[in-house]
Chain A
């Protein structure tokens, strides 16, 4: 059951970029909280730049978080881009299209990458999977991770979340012939 969004979502000026920079910082951080809460309660890993949830495989057009029909307000795209870029800077979102400044879709991180990394490490430890090669598919989509918060995480994002473990020399990533990460071994 998705949680209802907090009252500020119905506050009409939230949809207009505020000219006072201190207030605007507060406004953007309100938007970031809304997006994280929305994504988490819908179990959505990925959202389009327009603010609708993207699920793998289906191209269904869904309502956007930035459009509020109840009060007839919507956030202009320019301001939406400002919100996304702040989110990326603060590590609360990652553009799926790496290298580009404005990506068409974003991964939403309601936990930080480091926090996902340590959760994944916990899984490796408690499932007894240390010292074995586990495919990224198995890790994020396999039956053995059902019930863990990272279950269902898109594979490219999972690979990103494993990077902190590599830096700590706890994990080694195995790439396929195109350089795409396919498996991981945690020690």
Chain B
């Protein structure tokens, strides 16, 4: 039956058809846009490679270029090519520095501001093609920020501290014990360092208050104090 006027649009069947058509159109537009964006990103990388020397020579051009990359979703780190010296090499390290600071800020509430280099490299930088050497060089540069960041070593492993309070000798020794089993305790400290229980308890509780250690009260004999960097180690 043919209907006229507004009534002609009342038909359920038609509604469904229009729905189908409109979603198909939207889908197609979506795909086209995605394709265009991919092509554009590819061209941009090509452009960066070709006009490498100009980008290097002109800082204003460079900063505008990097901003443009960011706004269409290209991580500037992925544009850098160490061997071909795309941009200034130092820019590559500055970019890593920024990432490191971001990560430190993000994880501070979890680990009290102490992060191992291993965790940084495995957790964040491996997929960006940044190796340990690059990371160490960048973090060296961070030290010129005067006191905000410090590198220290525990049993040959490097750690980065991003909170301004310095670790005391006692705290460092406890972290050293933690780096073996993941935790320390009053009796472990007594057995290894011959500390008196009240000394151990004071330092351990202070470290829990600072967020450097997490307390575990459900172990068999005594409370254990865990290093939060073991969260990611336990599953490996």
**Cα distance, A12 to B228, chains bound together (Å):** 10
List the B residue with the shortest CB-CB distance to A10: B234
Chain B residues with CB under 8 A of A73 = 216, 218
Which stretch (A19-27, A38-46, A111-119) binds chain B? Answer: A19-27
Contact stretch, chosen from B55-63, B149-157, B206-214: B206-214
The answer to whether B208 and A18 have CB atoms under 8 Å apart is: yes
B102 lies within 8 A of chain A by Cβ: no
A2 contacts partner chain B, Cβ-Cβ < 8 Å = no
B194 at the interface (CB under 8 A from A): no
A125 to B112, CA, bound (A): 49
Does A11 touch B at the CB level, under 8 Å? yes
A72 at the interface (CB under 8 A from B): yes
Question: Which residues of chain B come closer than 8 Å to A13, judged between CB atoms?
Answer: 214-216, 224, 226
Partner of B210, one of A20, A25, A74: A20
B110 touches A26 (CB 8 A): yes
Distance A105 CA – B70 CA, assembled complex (angstroms): 45
Q: Is A15 an interface residue (CB 8 A)?
A: yes
Interface string of A147-163 (1 = CB under 8 A from B): 00000000000000000
Interface residues in B80-137 by Cβ distance below 8 A to A read 109-110, 112
B215 touches which one: A18, A25, A126 (CB < 8 A)?
A18
Are B211 and A22 closer than 8 Å at their CB atoms?
yes
Q: Residues 70-95 of chain A: 1 if any B CB is under 8 Å from the residue's CB, otherwise 0?
A: 00111000000000000000000000
Give the residues in chain B near A7, CB-CB below 8 Å: 231-232, 234-235
In the bound complex, do residue B235 and residue A23 qualify as a contact, i.e. CB atoms below 8 Å apart?
A: no
Q: Which of B194-236 contact A (CB under 8 A)?
A: 208-211, 214-219, 224, 226, 228, 230-232, 234-235
Q: Which residues of B contact A16 (CB under 8 A)?
A: 214-218
B168 interface hit (Cβ, 8 Å): no
Q: Which residues of A contact B234 (CB under 8 A)?
A: 7, 10-11
In this complex, the interface size class of chain A, counting residues with CB under 8 Å from chain B, is 20 to 34
- Cβ–Cβ contact A15 & B216, under 8 A: yes
| Closest beta carbon of chain A to B181's beta carbon, Å | 11
Question: Contacts A128-B12, A128-B16 known; A12 to B218 CB distance under 8 Å?
Answer: yes
Report how many A-B pairs have Cβ atoms within 8 Å: 64
B218 touching A23 by the CB < 8 A rule? no
- Residues of the A chain whose Cβ atoms lie less than 8 Å from the Cβ of B214: 11, 13-14, 16, 18, 23, 27
Residues on A with beta carbons closer than 8 Å to the beta carbon of B224: 12-13
- Whether B146 sits at the interface, judged by CB under 8 Å, is no
- A-chain residues with CB within 8 Å of residue B215 when the two chains form the complex: 13, 16, 18-19
Residues of A within 8 A of B15 (CB): 128
B23 at the interface (CB under 8 A from A): yes
Does A20 lie within 8 Å of B235, measured CB to CB? Answer: no
Residues of the B chain whose Cβ atoms lie less than 8 Å from the Cβ of A11: 214, 226, 228, 230-231, 234
With A and B bound together, what is the CA distance between A27 and B209 in angstroms?
14
Chain B contacts for A125, CB-based, 8 A: 19
A19 partner, pick from B209, B216, B231, beta carbons under 8 A: B209
Sample of 26 A–B contacts (CB below 8 Å): A8-B231, A11-B214, A11-B226, A11-B230, A11-B231, A11-B234, A12-B183, A12-B216, A12-B224, A12-B226, A13-B224, A14-B214, A15-B216, A16-B217, A18-B208, A19-B209, A20-B209, A23-B112, A23-B211, A23-B214, A27-B214, A72-B218, A73-B216, A126-B19, A128-B12, A128-B15
Task: Given A14-B214, A16-B218, A26-B109, output 12 extra A-B contacts at Cβ < 8 Å.
Answer: A8-B231, A10-B234, A11-B226, A11-B234, A12-B219, A15-B218, A16-B215, A16-B216, A23-B110, A23-B112, A25-B109, A128-B16
Which 7 pairs of residues, A with B, have the shortest CB-CB distance? Answer: A13-B214, A7-B235, A13-B216, A12-B216, A26-B109, A16-B217, A13-B226
